[in-house]
Chains A and B, each alone.
Chain A
Amino acid sequence: MGSTFGTYNIAYSGMYVNQASLATASTNLANVDTTGASKVQVSSVERDTVQSGGTSTGDGVSVAAITRARDRYLDSAYRTQNAAATYLSVKSGNLKYLDKILSEYDTTSTSTTDTTSNGVETELEDFFNAWQTLSTDSGSSSSSNTGTSAQTTFAAAITTATSGTTSTAKTAVSTAYSAYKAALTSGNAATIVSTKTTLDSAVTTLSDSTLTAALTTYNTSSGTAINSAATTLSADITNGSSALATLSSAITTATSGTTSTAKTAVSTAYSAYTAALTSGVAKTIVSTKTTLDSAVTALADTTLTTAYSTYNSATDGGTTINTAATSLTNAITTATSTATAETTRAAVTAAGVDLISTLTDIDKELQQLQTDAVTGVKDGVDSLNDLASQVADLDKQITQAEAGGGEASYLRDQRDVLLDQMSSLANISTTESNGTLKVTLNGANLVDGDTARSLVVDGSGTITDPLTVNWADSGTQASIQSGSIKAYMEDADQTGYATIDSSSLPYNFTTTATSSISTLRQGLNDLITTLATKVNSLSTSGVDLDGNAGLDFFTAIDSSQPLSITNIQVNPALVADSSKVVAASSAASGDNTVANEICALEDDTTCYKSSNSSLDIIDFYAAITDWIGTAGDTAASNYTTQSTLVTQVDTQRKSVSSISIDEEMSNMIKFQNAYAASAKVMSTIDNMLYTLISEFD
Chain B
Amino acid sequence: MASTFLGLSIASSGLNAAQIGLATTTNNMSNIDTTGYSRQLVNQTSVGPAAVYSSSLVGNGVDVTSVDRVRSDSLDQKYWQENSASNEWDAKSTYLSQLETVFGSSTDDTTSTINTALNTFNTDLESLSTDPTSTSVRATVLEQANTLCSTINDTASELTQLRSDVNNDVKTTVAQINSYTTQIATLNKQIVVANASGASSNELKDQQGVLVDKLSALVGVNVTKNDDGVLKITVGNSVLVDGSDSKQLECYTVTDTTSAEYGMYGIRDEATGQDVTTGDSGSLNGYLEIRDGATSDSKGIPYYTNQLNEFAQTFAKAFNEGITVGTTTYSGNADGYGLDNTTDVRFFSYDNKSSADLIASASTIDAAYQNITAANITVSKDIQNDSNKIAASSTANATSNSTNLADLISISTSADIFGNATATGFFSAIISTVGTDSASATTQYNRKSTITSYINTSRSSVSAVSSNEETVNLTKYQAAYAASASATSTWSKIYDETIDMVVSS
Contacts and interface: CB of A to CB of B under 8 A. Distances in A.
B439 to A, nearest CB: 8
Contact of A346 (B48, B55, B432): B432
Interface residues of B, number: 83
B466 interface: no
B28 interface: no
B193 interface: no
Contact of B55 (A406, A413, A675): A406
Contacts of A414: 45-46
Given A110-B446, A357-B440, A409-B59, A29 B487 contact: yes
A401 interface: yes
A126 B445 CA distance: 20
B497 A675 contact: yes
Given A104-B451, A408-B48, A66 B17 contact: no
Nearest to A683: B501
Contacts of A285: none
Interface string B1-39: 010001100110110011001000000000000000000
A672 B493 contact: yes
Contacts of A30: 10-11, 13-14, 17, 46, 61-62, 484, 487
A527 to B, nearest CB: 18
Contact of B56 (A65, A104, A676): A65
A411 B126 CA distance: 100
A568 to B, nearest CB: 16
Given A31-B46, A100-B451, A361-B444, A407 B57 contact: yes
Interface string A641-683: 0000000000000000000010011001100100110011011
B491 A401 contact: no
Nearest to A166: B400
A18 to B, nearest CB: 9
A368 B81 contact: yes
Nearest to A407: B57
Give the most central of A357, A406, A690: most B CB within 10 Å. Answer: A406
A350 interface: yes
Instruction: Tell me what chain A mostly uses at the interface: helix, strand, loop, or mixed.
Output: helix
A580 to B, nearest CB: 10
A465 interface: no
Interface string A422-453: 00000000000000000000000000000000
B59 A40 contact: yes
B130 A171 contact: yes
A349 to B, nearest CB: 10
A401 B11 contact: no
A58 B53 CA distance: 20
Interface string A91-114: 000000100110011000111001
Interface stretch (B194-202, B382-390, B475-483): B475-483
A524 B52 CA distance: 68
Interface string B465-505: 00000000000110110011011001101100110010011
Interface stretch (B306-314, B355-363, B402-410): B402-410
Interface stretch (A252-260, A372-380, A531-539): A372-380
Interface stretch (B135-143, B183-191, B203-211, B420-428): B420-428
B425 A339 contact: yes
A410 B451 contact: no
Interface in A554-603: 575-577, 579
A164 B21 CA distance: 101
Nearest to B8: A26
B54 interface: yes
Give the most central of B17, B49, B60, B78: most A CB within 10 Å. Answer: B49
A26 B62 CA distance: 10
Contact of B440 (A16, A354, A669): A354
Interface in B416-471: 420-422, 425, 428-429, 432, 436, 439-440, 442-444, 446-447, 450-451, 454
Nearest to A672: B490
B447 to A, nearest CB: 6
B320 interface: no
Given A339-B428, A365-B451, A368-B81, A24 B420 contact: no
A575 B47 CA distance: 72
Contacts of A26: 7, 10-11, 14, 61, 484, 487, 490-491
Contacts of A402: 57
Nearest to A364: B85
Given A163-B401, A166-B131, A110 B14 contact: no
Contact of B436 (A33, A116, A350): A350
Contacts of B129: 159, 162-163
A152 B414 contact: yes
The 9 A-B residue pairs whose C-beta atoms are closest, nearest first, are A30-B14, A66-B56, A30-B61, A410-B46, A20-B53, A410-B48, A63-B54, A406-B56, A26-B10
Interface of A: 15-17, 19-20, 22-27, 29-35, 37, 40, 42, 62-67, 97, 100-101, 104-105, 109-111, 114, 116, 118, 152, 156, 159-160, 162-166, 170-171, 174, 339, 342-343, 346, 350, 354, 357, 361, 365, 368, 372, 375-376, 379, 401-402, 404-411, 413-414, 417, 575-577, 579, 661, 664-665, 668-669, 672, 675-676, 679-680, 682-683, 686-687, 690
